[in-house]
Amino acid sequence: MPVRPLLALAAPLALAACASSRPPPAAPVPYRSMGDILQASAPSDWRPLREEDAVVLELPGGRVVIELAPDFAPRHADNVKALVRGGYLDGLAVLRSQDGFVVQWGDPDGDEPGKARPYPRGAERKLPAEFTRPAAGLAFHRLPDPDGFAPETGFVQGFPAARDPRSNAAWLAHCYGAVGAGRGEEADSSTGAELYVVIGQAPRQLDRNITVVGRVVDGMEVLSVIPRGPPPMGFYEKAEQRIPIRSARLVADLPAAQRPRLQILRTETATFDAMVESRRNRRDAWYKVPAGHVDLCLVPIPVRAAP
Amino acid sequence: MPVRPLLALAAPLALAACASSRPPPAAPVPYRSMGDILQASAPSDWRPLREEDAVVLELPGGRVVIELAPDFAPRHADNVKALVRGGYLDGLAVLRSQDGFVVQWGDPDGDEPGKARPYPRGAERKLPAEFTRPAAGLAFHRLPDPDGFAPETGFVQGFPAARDPRSNAAWLAHCYGAVGAGRGEEADSSTGAELYVVIGQAPRQLDRNITVVGRVVDGMEVLSVIPRGPPPMGFYEKAEQRIPIRSARLVADLPAAQRPRLQILRTETATFDAMVESRRNRRDAWYKVPAGHVDLCLVPIPVRAAP
């Protein structure tokens, strides 16, 4: 909430009488903020970062941690891991920073035969599109709020996702921090060698049009402040404007002392549900009108340093 | 659309047969991109920046142009103008940069009696809240798409807005670039001396809870890359981290040669409607599944240099 700098944060208060579009509960309960709820969480509400499926990028501005989503994009996740393990990304660079949309990295000469950096052993140059997957078999924790882009939205093990019961399809949603695999016009032209990260208003029109391969779980503030390239698409015009990727490593391959020790709130827990409700209806002293609604991409997915 | 850097942009194509949730039109019409539509626009589709209601901030990273919204927040707009004309903002600073949310500027000593910068003559220290206004009398150009936060959304002369026919209230929406007046717990505790700008996913839960006084029409890329302050709220801990505001001027007060010469697409035109439809259903060669929906805060409001 935008407040004056010296104002203390509002204390939790019972505000059942404030102007909401929903009726107040019969027995008013004290409002619990997201901070209160997380503080009262149990250790079992959190899961560790999956180290075999997590990548650390080192940029001049700091460290970025990406968790891959093999449940949604197994072939792309495997290929990203093979590329990272083969050192493919080391010394490549952020090539694009488009305000309100994405930053994107890869090989600037990737489309020029003879100049393109060779793929390491084990990385494939051709993959199927992984835009959607069958919804069956997926532990989909549904968000009750309506959504304009999908019949249903929710969370799958810490990833914002969507689902269409009629077609039995599920897919990852393009929320802030989503990591996708850049492609050309052909649906199956992505390999994971070139990745983009959403830094602006959730571009949900990309859903089901491109393979989402993971999510930034730490270090978004390193990516989001990268100077923008020229409009309309934000590709830098000069090589020296590019932001180098010093290294990319699988977390599981790092020495133990260098691994990020992160925990992610389990999105299938009552703690997470309580947090969502605290965002849907803010009933602290600052908010005068609770929204009665939350958007999929406005729901924070808490990450913390392992205690 | 995230593409490989050397791939040409997709040419406009008729793609009526692609997988849409809506039936294809009886007589397929060639798809026109936003670029095509704007290129074919008439001079009368554009209006000039309102120089009497526009403020230019000069920051180390460049120029930011804000258009005020006196139709929605007349008292705050007047006060911002009085503060700017009295030199109040010159030498103040960006105090806060919270990733995915807002940047905010003002007087770091604003709440400390004796240390606070005095308001200039003509600026008021107490204003009524201007969270909503009557919808009657407002030329509200409605967006047909459903919205989770408001019964109706649309545009009023270049500003994204919302409306509730039952309460006859209208308000400006917290989309990317929205400029609001920071306040304390009391609804009427904002003056416009401290302003924030949305740099993240549209925080629509703030709608109707705070006074929105305008919108950044140029220079968002200057604000969006300002280094983030520490979580949770992004206020800088050290004075030297703050980003100074070198000057703030009303556009009408600048020498003619220094004024930004901008035009804003009129949001009540057929050209704008065509552009919205081109965003709602992308039918170029790159998109495989048109979304059939657009979110209020995903609709671009084009601004161009005056020809």
Indicate yes or no: CB of B182 within 8 angstroms of CB of A235: no
Within chain A, all domains assigned CATH 2.40.100.10 are found at: 50-261
Least confident of A76-80, A244-248, B8-12, B185-189: B8-12
Taking the C-alpha atoms of residue A142 and residue B112, their distance in angstroms, rounded to an integer, is 47
In sequence order, the 6+-apart residues with CB closer than 8 A to the CB of A122 are A82, A85, A86
The mean pLDDT of chain B is 92
What per-residue confidence (pLDDT) applies to B111? 83
Two structure tokens written together for B165: 């026919």
H or E, element range at A170: strand A169-172
**Residue A173, min C-alpha distance to chain B (Å):** 12
- Tens of pLDDT, residues B90-124: 999 999 999 999 999 999 998 888 999 999 999 99
Q: How far is B83 from chain A (nearest CA, A)?
A: 17
The pLDDT of residue B28 is: 57
| Predicted confidence band of residue B4 (pLDDT cuts 50, 70, 90) | low
> Rg (Cα) of chain B, in Å, rounded?
21
Residues 233-292 of A with CB under 8 A from B: 233, 235, 279, 282, 285-291
pLDDT digits (tens, 9 = 90+) for B235-278: 999 999 999 999 999 999 999 999 999 999 999 999 999 999 99
Higher per-residue pLDDT: A112 or B189: B189
- For residue A255, give the H/E element and its range: none
Taking the C-alpha atoms of residue B46 and residue B16, their distance in angstroms, rounded to an integer, is 30
* Contacts for B295 with CB less than 8 Å, ≥ 6 apart: A148, A149, A201, A202, A204, B145, B147, B202
Best CA proximity match to B123, nearest among B84, B152, B156, B149: B84
Nearest beta carbon to residue B200 from set A110, A148, A176: A176
**B48-110+122-263: in CATH 2.40.100.10:** yes
User: Which ipTM score applies to this complex?
Assistant: 0.92
Cβ contact A4–B106 (<8 Å):
yes
- Cβ-based contacts of B208 with chain A (< 8 Å): 288-289
pLDDT for A7: 33
Q: Which residues of B touch A200 (CB under 8 A)?
A: 176
For chain A positions 16-45, those within 8 Å of chain B (CB to CB) are: 35
> Is the bond into A30 cis (omega within 30 degrees of 0)?
no
Q: Rounded to whole angstroms, how far apart are CA atoms B160 and B140?
A: 10
Cβ-defined contact of A294 to B187 (cutoff 8 Å): no
Nearest Cα to A220, choosing from A112, A283, A122, A300? Answer: A300
The residue of chain A nearest to residue B298, with distances taken between CA atoms, is: A201
CB-CB under 8 Å, A4 with B111 = yes
What's the confidence (pLDDT) of residue B284?
94
What CATH code would you report for A50-261?
2.40.100.10
Burial of B184 (0-12, 13-18, 19+ CB in 10 A): middle
pLDDT values of chain A reduced to their tens digit, one per residue, 307 residues:
676 543 333 333 222 222 334 444 455 568 999 999 999 999 999 999 999 999 999 999 999 999 999 999 999 999 999 999 999 999 999 999 999 999 999 999 988 889 999 999 999 999 999 999 999 999 999 999 999 999 999 999 999 999 999 999 999 999 999 999 999 999 999 999 999 999 999 999 999 999 999 999 999 999 999 999 999 999 999 999 999 999 999 999 999 999 999 999 999 999 999 999 999 999 999 999 999 999 999 999 999 999 9
Question: How does residue B218 score in pLDDT terms, banded at 50, 70 and 90?
Answer: very high
Q: What pLDDT score does B26 carry?
A: 53
Say if B174 is an interface residue toward chain A (CB within 8 Å): no
Q: Do B3 and A182 touch (CB under 8 A)?
A: yes
Inter-chain Cβ pairs, chain A and chain B, closer than 8 A:
187
Record: contact B224-A2, CB cut-off 8 A:
no
Give residue B110's pLDDT: 87
CB contact under 8 A, A108 and B5: yes
B56 strand-pairing partners: B65, B249
Token readout for B49 is: 């920046």
Interface of A with B in 115-144 (CB under 8 A): 131
Long-range contacts of A21-25 (CB under 8 A, 24+ apart): A21/A292, A22/A281, A22/A290, A22/A292
In the prediction, which pLDDT does A14 show?
28
Hey, is the C-beta of A222 within 8 angstroms of any chain B C-beta?
no
